A and B are shown apart, each in its own frame.
Chain A
Amino acid sequence: MLVHIDQDKCCGAGHCVVAAPEVFDQRDEDGIVLLLDARPPADLHQAVQDAAAVCPAAAIRLDLA
């Protein structure tokens, strides 16, 4: 799994950090998403998919190859 984030689209809700704190963080100054791990291990894939699904700004894209 390859994780892409779009920082321009991110609205800073932080839902992704709640869903997958190992993979996502937020910039303190504006809450914008930070990607900690673009190739997360398999045991985190479900959490990352949840994060992408709940992102209100559709700012997380996953390549599931």
Chain B
Amino acid sequence: MTAPRRIAVVGAGAAGLHTAEALRRAGYDGRLTLVGDEEEPPYDRPPLSKHLLSGQWQPDRLTLRDPRALDELRLDLRLGVRARRLDRRARTVHLADGREVPCDAVVIATGVRPRRLPGAGTPGDGTPPAGAHVLRTLADALALRADLCEGPRAGGRLLVVGGGLLGAEAAATAVGIGAEVTWLVSTDTPLAAVLGTETAALLTGLHRGHGVRIHRGTATGLLSRGGRATGVRLADGTDLAADTVLTAIGSEPATEWLADSGLGLDGGVVCDARCAAGPGVWAAGDAACWPDPRTGRHRRLEQRTNATEQALHVARNLLAGPDGTTEVYTPVPYLWTDQYGLRVQAFGSPGAADRFEPVDGSPEEHRFAAACVRDGRVVGAVGIASARALRGLRAQVAAHAPWPPEPA
């Protein structure tokens, strides 16, 4: 196969943008189409639940590249249009506006969309009631902020459904701008599965200390009356009332458009270890699912840093061609979360550990770096306000190094 002359990158979030940028940076000068279903040029999502929801930042601060930098990429930029279908035989991406994008190679970077509760409507299938929110796009965040700060529900009761990082950040931000917040979670220590028990307990205590009411239960459906959300029903049959409901119960890969493509779609776009989903088809970002070389199991990472790293990786492998030297993707997962003025940073999988070994500070001081150890190996690292010590643990996470460290 000759080098590609027409590349389509589907999805104009961080993964799509970084793929396009890396292709140009590596010298690719053929046609480069970037398709995105949102109207906005590529923007950064992590601030949506933090600085944007709080009102500290205006939307333009989220822009990932200014217009000049975007121009320099010489993109065939198709914004505000969804990809509808991938025809691999004809090597064509079909767009919802009826247009077709012929391509020698395609990069799938369509990300995820939030799960909704029954009763909340789904995109293209019923309108959600007023006051019922999810938080994935800029439009989502602005709508939630408007409900919390303006109009009839301002300063009212916000119910955050879901004990993950997004729910935690939204609860922390919302209480900071004057909402009365209830956080509905399914476990005693939300975030333990992500950050480990020690860090999760610290954050749970901070939520309580700032006035967030933590309610244990499982939502089974959204309640509404007269087209307006009124709360949720719980599995135990009781109801929780609210003026505004944010559903943050995880996401699903946005891969419907690939249904008849013949690609493997099992918990994401199924890729090989190089992030190839098939000949001339690659995937990067939240939608990509690839075998972790350490475990052999396919995994998907909904993390901002992964979007960038996987995009750079895919661009490199794509340009290497079928006979070139391609590389296996072995990231060291990194995530951060900002809550109540603290920044928690983590490498690997702190939630998978059975031992918590501080190497600096302690959770009580709200300043620590700790190795997270399982079966005598470092599987993660987590810290607050101890960036250098934490970074020092990164190599041990990458290597799944033994703990305690072997004497040099």
Contacts and interface: CB of A to CB of B under 8 A. Distances in A.
Contacts of A18: 391, 394
A60 to B, nearest CB: 12
B22 A31 contact: no
B14 interface: yes
Main secondary structure of the interface of B (DSSP, over half): helix
B304 interface: yes
B218 interface: no
Given A11-B336, A53-B312, A56-B14, A31 B387 contact: yes
Contact of B22 (A8, A14, A53, A58): A53
Contacts of B14: 56
| Residue from B21, B61, B343 with most neighbouring chain A CB atoms (10 Å) | B343
B385 A30 contact: yes
Contacts of B390: 31
B345 interface: yes
Contacts of B18: 53
* B interface residue count range (under 10 / 10 to 19 / 20 to 34 / 35 or more): 20 to 34
B44 A29 contact: no
B25 A12 contact: no
A27 B65 contact: no
Contacts of A15: 305, 334
A25 to B, nearest CB: 8
Contacts of A27: 387
B388 A26 contact: yes
A54 B309 contact: yes
Contacts of A49: 25
Interface string B308-323: 1100100000000000
Given A53-B25, A57-B44, A58-B44, A14 B308 contact: no
B387 A56 contact: no
B64 interface: yes
A56 B305 contact: yes
Interface in B163-213: none
Given A9-B61, A53-B312, 12 more contacts: A9-B44, A26-B387, A28-B385, A28-B387, A30-B387, A31-B345, A31-B390, A53-B21, A54-B312, A56-B307, A56-B308, A57-B46
Interface of A: 8-9, 11-15, 17-18, 26-31, 49, 53-58
16 contacts: A8-B61, A9-B61, A12-B387, A15-B305, A18-B391, A26-B387, A28-B385, A28-B386, A28-B387, A29-B367, A30-B385, A31-B387, A55-B308, A56-B305, A57-B304, A58-B44
